[in-house]
Amino acid sequence: MWTMIIVTTAFVGLMGLVGGGGELINERVEAKRAAEQAARAGADELSASAVRSGSDQVDAGEAIARAKSVLHQAGWSGSVSVQGSRVVVTATGSRKPQFLSLLGVGAIQISETGTADAISTPDG
């Protein structure tokens, strides 16, 4: 009888770890995708003067606004910075894994970063 109780408890614990680990990996991948997509959207906001001159300069205000909008639509918060023609986005948020909550684990903070460079010409 004790063997059955110990085996069952160990099995539930193991399932919680495996299932919860899978959930966390999925959440991190989702955050990374959102950050990269937001960075790409921001990098598409080339300034009008840069387009006329043939350079890859990003309109910082528009890039930040668009990247934050994409992050928000994906369900993440975060920060956006523009460094010349490069847009850097960090998606942050907390998620509460269902399986790990069985083991007493609460919300876990997730933070992933994505970058994109503006390209105004096919030669890039």
Nearest to 11 by CA among 99, 104, 108, 105: 99
- Give pLDDT tens digits along the chain (124 positions): 888 888 888 887 777 666 677 788 888 999 999 999 999 999 888 766 665 566 667 888 999 999 999 999 999 999 999 988 899 999 999 887 776 666 677 788 999 999 998 876 555 5
Coil, strand or helix: which one is 5? helix
Per the structure, the count of domains in the chain is 1
62 part of a folded domain: yes
The amino acid present at 34, given as its one-letter code, is A
123 part of a folded domain: no
Range of the domain at 7: 2-117
69 part of a folded domain: yes
Angstrom distance (rounded) from CA 115 to CA 44: 12
pTM of the model: 0.76
Angstrom distance (rounded) from CA 29 to CA 123: 30
